[in-house]
Structure 1
Amino acid sequence: MLKGMKSDKNIEEAIVLEDSFNEEVEQEQVDADEALMEKPFDPTKINIETKTPSLDTLIKRIERNEIQMDTTTYFQRQDDLWDKTKQSRLIESILIRFPLPAFFFDASDDNNWLVVDGLQRLSSIRNFCVTKDLKLTNLEFLTQLNGKGWKDLSGDLKRIIEEAQVVIYKIMPGTPTDVKFNIFKRINTGGLVLEPQEIRHALFQGKPAQFIADLGKNEAFLKATEGRIKTHRMLDRDFANRFLAFYLFGYENYSPDLDTFMSKAMANIYNMSQSELDKIIHNYSEAMIVAKKIFKEEAFRKIHNESKRLPPINKALFDALATQLAVLSQSERDALVSKGKVFKKGLYDLLNNDAYFFTSVTSSTGDKNRVYHRHNEIKKLIHQTIES
C-alpha cells in the first residue's frame, strides 16, 4: 500500500490493476463529471440544417466528387468495409422502400462535404449506382435480382432508388469547432467509433493536423517512449496534442474539459509562424532527450515500490513531465541531467509518498485541481533539484 493513503476511495484510485501492466499505455480512469465543460458552449451557435432530398442528390454529389469519400485523409477510417451481402441488402432496402438512417455531413465547404456518419451506406450506394461495380447477391426478398447490377435494372427500379427520400443533417459554416467536436463525438454511430484525437484531426485539417502528426513521429519522442505508443487510432498524436496544449497555454490557465483544451491548441497552430513552430519542436525534442537520459526505459511510467514489472506509459505523467522539461532553458536542462539521479529519486518519492500526486496521474486526470497539482509538483521538484 502507498504511504499516506487514508481512505478506501484513495486506495481504490491508487492501486494499479495487474492487467494494466499488459498495456503499453495506461488506461486513464475517467469520472462521469470529468468530461463536463466548465463553460458549456452556447447552443444557439449550433447551426445544423435538416434536409430530405432524393437519394439522387447524394448520387450526383458522389459523381461530382462533392462528397469526400476518402475519409482516411481526415478520419483515418476506411470505406468499403461492408461485404457484398450487406451492401446488396442496403440496396434491397431502398428498393422495397425501407427508410434509411440519417446521414450526417460537415458542410463547412459546400463543394466538399465530409462524411461524419453514414460512410458505409454511401460506399454501398456509390458501388452500385456510380461505379456500378456491385452485383446484388444473397438478397432476402427480391431474390430475382441476385446477380444483377445497376445496368441490369429496369427503368422503374432505377427510379425507385433515385427518388427515394433520405434524411441528411448538414453541419453548416460558422459552427464553432468545440460545438462540432461534440457533434462528431455524439452522432458517430458507425462500426468504428472515433477517438477524440481522430475527431480533432478531422476538424483541424492542414497545418495543425500535419504539425501534430510530425510531433508524433519525432525521433526523440520515439526514443524516449521506446516506440511503445501505437500509431493506431492516433494514440501517438494524442500524446503530442496534450503536450502542445499545456506548453502553449500553461497548466495555470487550464480549464476543463481536456478535449476542448486540446482542440484550442490545435486551432492555435493556424496563426503561428514557422519559427514559432520550430521552437516548439526543438523544446519538445530536448524534453524527450532529457527524460530519456534521466529515466531511460522508465520514462513517463508510474514507478512505485510495489512494481514488480515495468508499468505502462502514463499520459498524465507524460503531459506534466514533458511540458515542464520543455519550458526550461538549455542550461537548466543540462543542470537537471547532471543531477538526474536526485531528480529521478524525487519523482519516485512523489509517486510513493504523495497520495494526491499519485491520484492526479491515475484517475480523473482532466480535473482542474489534479492537473494543477501534478504540473506544479513536478515544476517545484525540477527547480529544487537544480538549485540543490
Structure 2
Amino acid sequence: MNPINTSENANFEEDNVEIEQNDESLLLMDKPFDPTKINIETKTPSLDTLIKRVLHKSIQMNTESYFQRQDDLWDPVKQSRLIESILIRFPLPAFFFDATDDNEWLVVDGLQRLSSIRNFCVVKDPKKRLKLTNLEFLSHLNGMTFDELSGDLQRIIEESQVVIYKIMPGTPTDVKFNIFKRINTGGLVLEPQEIRHALFQGKPAVFIAELGKNADFLKATANKIKTHRMLDRDFANRFLCFYLFGYANYTPDLDTFMSKAMANINEKTDLELEKIKSDFSEAMKLSKTIFGDEAFRKVSNNYKRLPPINKALFDAISTQFALLSNEEREILKSRRTLFKKALKNSLTQDSLFFISVTSSTGDKNRVFKRHNTIELLINQIISA
C-alpha cells in the first residue's frame, strides 16, 4: 500500500494541520530534570489573603497576557454556586501559582474560581460585581452582593482556609514547564506553546509572536494555521529551535528543545534577530515558490484531497531552506519541479522518512531522519 494515501485519512487539527501521533515511550527526555530542583511551597492561608492580593494587584489576573486564557468564563450561576460552597464550608480545590515574582503571582490553575471570588468580594462597579443568583441551599441570599451579606457571613468567606501551591523562585525553567504541563486542570488545559509563552515573557515571547505574524509565513501556509491556542507560534518555535541549534544537536524531548530556543533569544543581538527573521522569510518565499498550495503537506502524485499541513515537514523544510545561501536558493528555485518530485518520491518510497513526519516526531532518530533527508535532497538537486 502506498503510505501517502494514509494522510487522506489523517486526523485534522482545526481542519488544516495534521495531528501528530505520539508513542509516549519514544518521547522521554534524554536527561530528565533533577526532581530535587522542584521547589514548591504548600500554604493554607485564609481566603482573605488571596482577596487582598487580588485587590492590590499582586496576582496577575489578566492571564491573557501570558497564557491567552480568559478569565470570567463562568456564568453568574456557576460563580454564585462557588460562593455558596464557601459559605456552607465546602473545601475548595487547591490553587497553583507561579510565585517567581512575589509581587506578581501568575495563576497556573484556579483562574475561574479566583475570578468568581474577585467578582464577588473585590469588584465594586455595580455593572460588573457579582450578585448571588440561583443558589441551591442559601436561596434567601439570592440578589445579594458581598457588601449586603451580614458580618458573620462575610467573615466565613474571609476566614475560609484554602490550599495554595507556590512555585518558588529558582525553580529551573524546564522544571516549571513540566509542572505547568502536569497540573493545569482548568476548563481550558494549556497547550505547550502557551506555557512557553508564559515562561518566556518579554523579548522571546515578542519575537516568536512576530515570526508567527510574518507575512511570508502566512502566504506559504495560505493563512491556514490558526492563531487560536498559539498554534502559529508553535510552528515558529519549531523552526527556531532547529535553526538555532541544528538537528544534529537535538536531544529529546521536543518541548524542552523548543523552550531552550526561546530562552536563547535573550542572548541574541537585534542584528542577529533580524538575520533570523530574514532567513525565515526567505525560507517561506522559497517554499511558496516551489510547492504553492502544497507547501508542508504530505502529498502523493495523485491525491484526491489536499492533505493538511504537517508540523514535522514544516520544521525540516523551513529550517533547511533558511540555512541556504541566496545563490543556493536561486538554484533550487530554478529546479523546483525536480525538487518537488524528489520529495514526493521520498515520501512514497522511503517508509522511514514517511514515519519520521507522521508519528512520534520528537524522537531523536526521526528528527535526524527527516532533516537529513531534506538536506540530502536539496544538495542532490543543487549539485545535479
> Which category of TM-score, normalised to the shorter sequence, fits these structures?
over 0.9
C-alpha distance 82-238 of structure 1, shift in aligned 2 (>3 A): same
Match of 1:246 in 2: 242
Match of 2:35 in 1: 43
d(CA) in 1 for partners of 2:75 and 2:149? 21
- Indicate whether 1:232 and 2:228 are aligned: yes
d(CA) in 2 for partners of 1:308 and 1:14? 9
CA contact (8 A) 1:14 1:362 kept: no
Matching residue's letter, 2:98: D
Give 1:15 deviation, angstroms.
2.3
Residues 245-297 of structure 1, C-alpha deviations (whole Å, 9 max, x = no match): 00000000001110000000001011111000000000000000011111111
Residues 165-197 of structure 1, C-alpha deviations (whole Å, 9 max, x = no match): 000000001101111111111110100011100
d(CA) in 2 for partners of 1:316 and 1:19? 14
Match of 2:370 in 1: 374
Matching residue's letter, 1:23: D
Q: TM-score, normalised by structure 2?
A: 0.97
SS in structure 2 opposite 1:16?
helix
SS in structure 2 opposite 1:33?
helix
Matching residue's letter, 1:264: K
Runs (4 or more) in structure 1 with deviation over 3 Å come to: 19-22
d(CA) in 2 for partners of 1:312 and 1:328? 26
Q: TM-score, normalised by structure 1?
A: 0.96
d(CA) in 1 for partners of 2:27 and 2:117? 37
Residues 97-117 of structure 1, C-alpha deviations (whole Å, 9 max, x = no match): 111000000000000000000
Give 1:37 deviation, angstroms.
1.2
Match of 1:100 in 2: 92
d(CA) in 2 for partners of 1:124 and 1:20? 37
d(CA) in 2 for partners of 1:297 and 1:115? 41
The match for 2:215 among 203, 206, 219 is 219
The match for 1:16 among 7, 15, 19 is 7
Residues 347-377 of structure 1, C-alpha deviations (whole Å, 9 max, x = no match): 1110111111111101111110010011001
Matching residue's letter, 1:300: F
After TM superposition, list the pairs within 5 Å mapping 1:112-191 onto structure 2. Answer: 112-132=104-124, 133-191=129-187
Matching residue's letter, 2:254: L
d(CA) in 1 for partners of 2:69 and 2:30? 31
The match for 1:84 among 57, 61, 76 is 76
Give 1:35 deviation, angstroms.
2.9
Residues 77-118 of structure 1, C-alpha deviations (whole Å, 9 max, x = no match): 110010111111111111111110000000000000000000
d(CA) in 2 for partners of 1:167 and 1:14? 52
C-alpha distance 186-34 of structure 1, shift in aligned 2 (>3 A): same
CA contact (8 A) 2:328 2:382 kept: yes
- Indicate whether 1:203 and 2:194 are aligned: no
SS in structure 2 opposite 1:358?
helix
- Indicate whether 1:386 and 2:377 are aligned: no
Residues 48-102 of structure 1, C-alpha deviations (whole Å, 9 max, x = no match): 0000000000000001000000000000011001011111111111111111000
Match of 1:256 in 2: 252
d(CA) in 1 for partners of 2:325 and 2:113? 53
The match for 2:352 among 350, 356, 360 is 356
SS in structure 1 opposite 2:7?
coil
Decide which moves more: 318-327 or 303-312: 303-312
SS in structure 1 opposite 2:274?
helix
CA contact (8 A) 1:107 1:114 kept: yes
Matching residue's letter, 1:66: S
Matching residue's letter, 2:15: E
Matching residue's letter, 2:184: N
d(CA) in 2 for partners of 1:24 and 1:155? 56
After TM superposition, list the pairs within 5 Å mapping 1:236-315 onto structure 2. Answer: 236-305=232-301, 307-315=303-311
d(CA) in 2 for partners of 1:81 and 1:111? 25
- Indicate whether 1:324 and 2:312 are aligned: no
CA contact (8 A) 2:59 2:106 kept: yes
Instruction: Give structure 2 stretches of 5+ with no counterpart.
Output: none
SS in structure 2 opposite 1:79?
coil
Instruction: Give structure 1 stretches of 5+ with no counterpart.
Output: 3-10
d(CA) in 2 for partners of 1:161 and 1:37? 44
d(CA) in 2 for partners of 1:93 and 1:166? 13
d(CA) in 1 for partners of 2:253 and 2:118? 39
Give 1:306 deviation, angstroms.
5.2
d(CA) in 1 for partners of 2:269 and 2:55? 38
